[in-house]
Amino acid sequence: MRIGYVVLAYKSPAQVLRLLRRIADPSSAIAVHVDRSTDDTLSRELSRGASELENVSFIDRRRTPWGSFALVDATLRGMASLEAGAVPVDYVIVLTGQDYPLRSRTAIERFVAGAGARSFVHHSPLPYDGWGSDGGLRRLEKWHYRVGSRRYHLTVPWTRTVPGGLQPFGGEAYWSLTSAAAAYVVRFARENRKFVRFFQHVLIPDEMFFHTIVMNSPFRDEVVNDTLHYVDWEADPAPALLTADRFERMVGSGKLFARKFDAATNEDVLDMLDEHIERDA
């Protein structure tokens, strides 16, 4: 079972390298995108550190502000890189540089192999009760324009609908797809430019773009409505930074990964997870 990872990084090169070393394997492949807004030092340190690892590649850097379509674009380019790579993969998993595995590589591969043709995408048709009084429809149906590289954006009040009559879906941004489903998503994006242009003016489109494609695809009946990530959404702001006091909840969750971590302030929890992973091997 060969797993392909798309890793979206924007800070903390040492922490990202720690993640890469945990998931890298001769039979896996990793496509890393480093936010162009960050200092070039991050990219250089990651490239230098990752040179010791097999099958790790870096895709062209672009600015990926929070809530923008650029995050979707970076993910799509990472998926396309895996598809075209020398190492064919059976599964595609999206991570950020602040994620970390909860299980060993062997255990993760065993879980994925046992999943068969199933993908894991947390999803709900819109409107979604968890996204406020309008169920997220304002994020989708109104025109959103970003102003510069900051989080400010303009909203045009005209109402619009998803091209092609597709039912919109939304959910958590981090998902796991079979290689066949991932290839379908990449091909759909290439062949449906009107759909892509529509989502270029959606607010936080990475929580809807992939979900809408997959749940309107021939693979929809093979999607498990769940994520393989442990995330604590109860904090304010959410998601919570995970610390040692959440260790038991994380490892007992049955998930394969967790987010998000900050090694600069809470490296001890990563040390605890490393010990757990070594026992899990």
Domain residue ranges in the chain: 1-114+232-281, 119-171+181-227
For 199-211, write each residue's pLDDT tens digit. Answer: 999 999 999 999 9
CA–CA gap between residue 24 and residue 30 (Å, rounded): 7
Range scoring the smallest mean pLDDT among 140-144, 175-179, 198-202, 248-252: 140-144
Instruction: Please give the radius of gyration of the chain, using alpha carbons only, rounded to the nearest integer.
Output: 18
Cut 0.85: pTM above it:
yes
Are 131 and 208 within 8 A, CB to CB? no
Specify the residue for token string 């968890």. 130
Determine the average pLDDT of the residues in 185-199.
Answer: 97
Strand partners, 224: 120
CA–CA gap between residue 159 and residue 142 (Å, rounded): 5
